[in-house]
Amino acid sequence: MDAAVLDWANLLLRWVHVIVGIAWIGSSFFFIWLDLSLNKREGLPDGVAGETWMVHGGGFYHAQKYLVAPEQLPEHLHWFKWESYATWISGFCLMAVIYYFGAESFLIDRQTLDVGPAAAIAISLAMLAVSWVVYDLICRSPLGNSTGPLAVAVFVLVVGAAFLFSNVFSGRAAFVHVGAMIGTIMSANVFFIIIPNQKKTVAAMLAGKAPDAVWGMQAKQRSTHNNYLTLPVLLMMISNHYPMTFGHEYNWLIVAVVLIIGGVVRDWFNTRNAGGGGSRTAWQWPLATVLTVGLAVFVSVPWNVETLDEEKMVDADGAFAIVQTHCVSCHATEPINPDFDAPPGGVVFESVDHLRTHAVRILAQTVTSQAMPLGNTSEMTELERQQIGAWIRAGQPD
């Protein structure tokens, strides 16, 4: 498809995706807060588990939570579901525009797995579907009855998937797939479990029957999972701007640490919202800080720097020649790669001075990570990466 059309589709879908994502996660944060801040008092109506008072935008709000449903259902009942569905739909379309229409550049890395676009797209779709099925089976298995083991199982599932993705797709696509997988699980929780169970509850009430308490418990479990996954999923989605994460040799390990950091920080908020404090909220921020600093140190230790023999070193002409071979099909004022109608990221490599200007970014994209050349269709070798790296570190001599 025409590059300009795809660019516009990309921009507009991204815009929508961010907006509805904010609405979804915002309402999710709000309801978790609301749930945890409910107070009991004498004289609440029958079936009301608690209430809370809020002030916002000049008005006072008084919310009461019915554990099952009020005896008489109100005429107007707002269901919170489109925030979630719209986030998934716009996210899926955005992923298709970038990673399916641009499969050669963005999805596939032939050094990782030598497949064509159709096969890579089929693998991507299958993996998203399978990850939901496996997650759902885990939750329904006996493991689903014990919170700790279930959390470990879901953690292992996501990290295992990250490992698999990083051995199938480009690093960047692998990270987006981890995000897409978590987002799919979260949205499917809403679509297949949370909303249907609420509907069953309402239907039972209308029929004058007592709703099954299991429906509520199941919905609560899935919505708690969604809550703990919100912070990690956002990092995965924005990670594609940071090659030090997805481009790292052990990128799946980075996913594991991010899951822990996000979960721990969420736990602090949840506990505070519920009125907890003291030793119960003393450990989350210190642990998250240690892990974040540890992660930053871990990714900045150069993991693939080799000392090159003197005769393998390149001069400015040599470095420029490597870039001509592997980069300028895209990074030129008029790219010959049909997927681009302007130099991506505004970066062009048409003279040695351009290389000097972007030296630090070239190191990050091509040497300490393998984010560039995108898709590596020109099959840049490890030696060439080391040569560029050595030339840049030596101060880009003539």
Interface residue list for ligand HEC (CB under 6 A): 105, 240-241, 323, 326-327, 329-331, 337, 344-345, 347, 358, 361-362, 365-366, 372-375, 380
CA dist 106 and 241 (Å) reads: 13
Neighbours of 125 (CB within 10 A): 13
In this complex, which beta carbon is closest to ligand HEC, that of residue 158 or of residue 332?
Answer: 332
In this complex, which beta carbon is closest to ligand HEC, that of residue 329 or of residue 387?
Answer: 329
In this complex, which beta carbon is closest to ligand HEC, that of residue 171 or of residue 373?
Answer: 373
HSE, side-chain direction, 13 A CA sphere, residue 316 = 12
Q: What is the nearest approach in angstroms of ligand HEC to the Cβ of residue 101?
A: 13
Q: What is the nearest approach in angstroms of ligand HEC to the Cβ of residue 34?
A: 37
Neighbours of 382 (CB within 10 A): 11
In this complex, which beta carbon is closest to ligand HEC, that of residue 101 or of residue 215?
Answer: 101
| Residues 295 and 254: beta-carbon distance below 8 Å | yes
Neighbours of 321 (CB within 10 A): 13
In this complex, which beta carbon is closest to ligand HEC, that of residue 147 or of residue 381?
Answer: 381
> 3: which residues sit within 8 A by CB, 6+ positions away?
338, 339, 340, 341
CA 339 to chain centre: 25
Q: What is the nearest approach in angstroms of ligand HEC to the Cβ of residue 171?
A: 12
In this complex, which beta carbon is closest to ligand HEC, that of residue 27 or of residue 396?
Answer: 396
Q: What is the nearest approach in angstroms of ligand HEC to the Cβ of residue 172?
A: 8
Single out the residue of 3, 111, 173, 119 nearest to residue 376, CA to CA: 111
Neighbours of 45 (CB within 10 A): 10
Q: What is the nearest approach in angstroms of ligand HEC to the Cβ of residue 356?
A: 12
Q: What is the nearest approach in angstroms of ligand HEC to the Cβ of residue 355?
A: 8
